[in-house]
Amino acid sequence: MDVVLRPMTEAEYADWVTSAISSYADDHIRMGSMPADKAHDMATKQFAELLPDGPHTARHDLLVAEDAGERVGLLWLNMPERAGDMVFVYDVEVDQSKRRQGYGRAIMLAAEEHGRQAGASSIRLHVFGDNTTARRLYESLGYEATNIHMAKPL
């Protein structure tokens, strides 16, 4: 498996952004961190602030992951402003038909190399607490928790 990252096209961005916003809102609703009646609007606002120029937003690399020319997933990275800064993973997705085949690991390794080539000193990400599959993957790649938010319903 040799995952290659390439820039997302305008058409791919248009297809992705709507589902990404909905997925992000759903994650927050599920975790109780955004009220259901406001989650979609809040997610839409956050995406607009983070990606004001869509796939051409400075320091944000929106990438398609491919293996042998076939799409296997997507990656959204906030790239370092200068050498020594960190890369932040905003989104990593493995296409549904490609899951549980090692592509999540391959995409994350490609993300690390992408950051290394940009001069980043580290790579960071956020993962929702209930996403045990992703957490296990990140831990197996050497990621460590740096901040833990905890909640209890009352």
pLDDT in the model for residue 32: 86
Rg (C-alpha) for the chain, rounded Å, is 16
Is 146 part of any domain? no
Residue 149 lies in a domain: no
Q: Where are the beta strands (DSSP E) in the chain?
A: 3-7, 60-67, 70-78, 86-94, 122-125
Q: What is the pLDDT of residue 129?
A: 85
Answer whether residue 51 is part of any domain.
yes
Please check whether residue 83 lies inside any domain of the structure: yes
Coil vs helix vs strand at 91:
strand
pTM > 0.95: no
Q: What is the CATH number of the domain that holds 15?
A: 3.40.630.30
45 belongs to a structural domain: yes
Q: Which domain holds residue 13?
A: 3-140
How many residues are listed for the chain in this entry? 154
Q: What is the pLDDT tens value at each position of the chain, 154 positions in all?
A: 899 999 999 999 999 999 999 999 999 998 888 889 999 999 999 999 999 999 999 999 999 999 999 999 999 999 988 888 999 999 999 999 999 999 999 999 999 999 999 999 999 999 988 899 999 999 999 999 988 887 777 8
Domain-embedded: residue 48: yes
What's the domain count of the chain? 1
